[in-house]
Amino acid sequence: MIEGDKRKRILLIDDSRDFQSLMSIAFTDSFLFDSVYSPDEIDAAITNGEQYDLVLLDLVLDNSGRYRGLELIDKLKGSIPNTPIVILSLEKESNTIREAIQTGADDYMYKGDYDPEKWENAIRYVISTQHTLSTKQFEEETIPEFYWHNWRRYPFIGKSDGTLKIKKELLAIADQPDISLLIKGEMGVGKSIAARFIHCNSKRREFPFEEVSIPTIGKDHEFENIVFGNNSGVNGKVKNANKGIVFFREIAELDLNKQARLIPLFRENKIRRVGTYAEEQVDIQVIASTSKDLEAEVKANRFRSDLYYSIISKVEIPPIRSRREDIGDLLVHFLKLASSDELYAVFDDIALNLLIHDYEWKQYNVRELENVALNAMLRRKNNPDKRIHREDILSNLSTGGISNEKEVINTIDKDSKRKEMQQVFVSGGSLKPLFNMLVEYPNFRYEIITLQAEFEDLERDYRLGIVDYDKYMKYKNRMRVKLKFYIDNVD
């Protein structure tokens, strides 16, 4: 380790070089990884004198069909007894998790739900608390204490009256895991988090949570295959969520014909695979979200009334501007602070007042708050007093939210930024830098945030093998064309 480097050191044992590379790149600012690709290399790693803060251990490790990772736990515990071990796997059956905990693993993380921010939070939690789940705890049904959809990774933050009321409504839904639900609310208020919150407080929490991102795949001709599966025996997301929850994000973006295919699912928990006429009964809870007024969409014949009235319960998440008391708690969460007292060390009074009291948060809500806070934290490093000031925030706020819109716009050097973006575009490679640069422009931030969310969903499906390489590259090239339009129209 480089002298003065305060990053935690992790021993990552996984036979996939792609996954090892993904982890190293994603967490380069937070953790140092020592990579081991096979059981034969472990002895050298654990006898080299390095002190590890955590071991991330793949469940399978090779093509033997055995759980080689579990076979190595005793050896690791004997050599580095005070180092927690977390099993990584693409399997998420409760029996497998139980076996891992009984064998001595301290926690279990499902690769299928890979998300850099949530994984970083989970890893830091295990390291900081030396968190260990006992078999007795598992048998007493405390699964949310370690399960990959637990409340620590999908909390519903806030103590305002509005948020407490919503939490009660969501918990009431969680207690009735067979009824369908529509979560309404403006873009970015936390509808997906609300769905996850229901899952980890439900009797279905032991079973999968499958998300269907309508903006990403709703127009895809493979939509029905992805959702329902086909007569070749391929399961769709609904069958993969057996006994769990299926979440349709932004359901209003689906066209009328595809909406009709969802009616039996919402009404009777029945599906029909592509290429068959027989219906299958499924045991799941169905949840959908929308940022549109569906009653108005029904009246305008853009949303089917029979689908709308097939959804039994409706819950609306209020915008952040109507629950400003929660903004402080959200900032503490996003910036990983120990308590709200630290806010006054991180922000000066004017900057904090701007976020909590002055800005209207008219369109992007909690998602925009997170984006603004994290960008301000980066700018803070260059300030002599290491605090966030008003000017660190203004360039990332949408126009129309505060009175001095010209000040917001003029903080961005448009010409130099456009040239920089054009250079990145020409170089090819990852689209992430382009998203990060374009999101600074208030006049089309909403569109960029939406496109980025769609592309991240696609990348996740590609990593999981749901989308093949050709389809992934075709979509990525289409996305590059869209981003080029925004680059050319920066003003």
Write the CATH number for 379: 1.10.8.60
Domain limits for position 368: 320-410
Residues in the chain: 491
Contact (Cβ atoms closer than 8 angstroms) between residue 386 and residue 393: no
Last residue of a domain, one of 145, 169, 186: 145
Confirm whether 2 is domain-assigned.
no
Query: Cβ distance 364 to 446 under 8 Å?
Result: yes
- Please tell me whether residues 309 and 187 are part of one structural domain: yes
Rounded CA gap, 307 and 312, in Å?
Answer: 10
**Considering the domain boundaries, does residue 74 fall inside one?**
yes
Name 245's bridge partners: 209, 285
- 41 domain residue, yes or no: yes
pLDDT of 312: 92
Query: Which pLDDT belongs to residue 434?
Result: 84
CATH number at residue 59: 3.40.50.2300
Residue-by-residue pLDDT tens, the chain, 491 positions: 444 557 889 999 998 888 888 888 888 888 999 999 988 888 888 887 778 889 999 998 877 777 888 989 888 988 888 888 999 988 776 667 777 877 888 888 888 777 787 788 788 878 876 544 433 344 443 333 333 334 344 578 888 888 889 988 998 898 898 999 999 999 989 999 999 989 988 888 888 999 998 988 867 678 888 899 988 888 889 999 999 999 999 999 999 999 999 999 999 999 999 988 889 999 999 999 999 999 999 999 999 999 999 999 999 999 999 999 999 989 988 888 877 888 988 999 899 999 998 898 887 789 899 889 998 888 888 888 889 998 888 877 765 555 444 444 444 445 556 677 777 777 667 788 888 888 777 777 778 888 888 888 888 777 777 778 878 888 888 888 888 888 877 76
The H-assigned helical ranges of 201-255 are 214-217, 223-228, 237-240
Give per-residue burial for 331-342: e unless 16+ CB within 10 Å, then b: bbbbbeeeeeee
Q: Nearest-CA neighbor of 381 among 408, 357, 406, 346?
A: 346
Looking at the fold, whether 114 and 184 belong to one and the same domain comes out as no
Between CA 377 and CA 390 the distance in angstroms is: 12
At 254 the pLDDT is 93
* End residue of a domain, out of 316, 349, 373: 316
